Structure 1
């Protein structure tokens, strides 16, 4: 018996650690702060199995503010604020270590806050465990797990939630950095507009640089700028890109730039201003950085025997500005074309068939025949961003005579092909190679120019693949036809009717009594009706499991174990579980 208990304990710990690893990996794929908060409490709720979980962050005044919860039943509890130094959260912040009480309201060794205690009563919270969210040595928040019955928390539970909180804190900090990066990007875009206006003013004011301005007007490049600078200033000119590679040199010379030139670039990059060095032969190397706001784009270096004069310095700096303008212009042209193609793709996906002549004309101007776009492809990766996947699809779009972009948060491709399976396999192979990570690709054939319906099916099928554990595959929606009730919008009412007819009484009972009969029945079938394994999986006593199953029998009838009835229940439970874990696709804009 002792060996069996030890083996059961090891099996449970392995399962918990496996779940911890899987949930930690899923957190790292998230970027939005709100999504990370919701995912943390949802995954913690599933991992620990308490009645409810919630997460509170520390504000500048040291007060804990609830940000996300899972399993709560009182709407007022989600507005909880706990003053500094009170409750379990105050103890966790003060010590930086986990803390728990078996009965919160009766705990006399905790400072209580009356306002929070008033929220505890309607929520029914009794036992409470809190673990810190640490970034370095700083406690940025507390993750709580609570039960509505009095009980102690075992060391294994505390250790498991603490380990999860360590991963969650990293994901939360990454999400904050992600938000800060987006703000920095907006500032960079604003800086670019400012630089563009300043360059335009300087072009009108400094006629001495008309030849450089002419390079911009006729679409010249780095080679022409270097040649013009040598004509005006003598010496030699080298142009570097942001990675330090030489993109132009006049007169032509060795591929590797002299070290003094590199030193001048480093100094200019650090200071953001003109920098000059002298090598052992007495040659002067002056560098001006090519920048857009705080973004480094490259450098222009003048090398010659004489020290540069102030006019020379202004001329090279002007050339660096022209180089920046050329780079930004090329970037803007590429982004504008991608934006136009993305807008056209979106219009086709949301428009009602048949497609209008205006859309056909716009597509034709870009070498695309709308009538031949007969396959919709949706690609998703758990490790790469939508924009990253979308950029790869835009490159592939020309090979398939189609359009690519982002639609409703999904990297999407409209392609002209002989078959959906061919496109799915080819796109998956290319994305898998270029991204270097797992990617899901679903292709759906378009019927009657209804690209929107094909997108809906492909998008939902892509979500379904993730919930089925498929992370790296190219497939068609037809491959998952047995799950069509989940991803076919035309079958949504059939799915609702089937789940309601089969599980409706149990779902209603769980919602009304805050019980877990549906979860219990799911675990029972997953464990092939083995009561011992089911009780272990649910982490409940055998008597509790038997009472739950008796209650199931009282609600849906005594024949629920009969083969036909059991099969129907298992299918309904599986579909309900997948639908619950698959977020609904946002409703498309109204069609004209």
Structure 2
């Protein structure tokens, strides 16, 4: 009897040990899985291994649903009302049913519902409770695994995003550093007043590309880097205008052939052009930024230059106007010195007058004169149809040739020889310049009213004309003209003839019949008739030396005084 009881106890212990081993083996499989559905299905199938037991479903209270064979939806309401330790439930057709909690961290995560024909032993209940507990732990492990995996994936994605952000930030910082360096370099160029050459060299250093600075017409003003052209090709005016207009409309640098071009345009006027020579098209955004910023600096530089030029031109014109009107020597010398002009040397005033020349042609002539005579010292202004110069006197031996060269220069610039240059006498002091100006005006007027109206006349060369052109002596001159030519002047007025003009040209041509007839465009016989008629009307012998002299002077005076 005792032996039989011991044998039965040993058998029970073996069954219990076997069941526990099965539970632990099953737990290993449960913990190896990270799929909740797989864990629940495995638990549901394993219940039958522990005796006459049936699993009717594993109910999870997280979402109110069931997993692993939900054959009795009515059980959901029952397990929802159970305490955390589980308890009996009613399954239709089953004598015994129990809900075991799937514990996770001390609180049930759901219930494992098991039924049988009869109530299991305490050992079996313990094993079922242990199985439910292991299933709950496995589910929690799977949940943590998914959470860790999701977290790891999220961290990886965040890491990738952070890497991209860091790369962008690094690139942005690099761009900012490059932009800052460009700004600093070009600001230093502007601050130092390095001019167009300094700007071209700075842009070459920043971009590594050759740089050209041009005026609006395509003339090269500065070059930075290698490959400076010896004879730059100048584009056609129309093409250049269309190109600059296109760039202005775009509002940013534009590629044209092998160049990237930006315009220096402080307002509505293009003052200059800066271009990167880029035949390989390797310029990127940073080079474009440098080019655009360089165009701004160039616009500032050219605007400053223009302002200085206009100010200096205005000051020079004001000084010239004051010198021609008359001013004291001390203030004139001081103002001239401030403009870089030495008035302590002797100066002459010259008046340039051109017939039919446009304002634009005269303006170009002024520029040519200034450029040609700057080394000698010249102040220039434009008064109505006249260009007025106050120029330092060269050596007397070169005086005539210098003013003749000036006439040739203006004739070439205006493309017309129909002009005259009158030059007043030298002045030792600025206060004497109004006198030289009056003399220059008399010289140019007499030149234009002579038989050879084109060329250069110096006041010293006027001879008797200096007296005849003196407005202060006009009364005496008029009386002299009436005394010698009065009858001829009245006859011409009554008969609309040209006897006075004939007599003037006869003496101007040195008494030569052929030259006089040709000048008057009449026949020699007609000329002889007119001269005979002049002698009869005036009562003068045209062959008498003194008479010839007085008549010649009178006709010249009549011509100069305006006939």
Q: What is the TM-score of this pair, normalised by structure 1?
A: 0.48
Q: What is the TM-score of this pair, normalised by structure 2?
A: 0.50
Higher Rg: 2
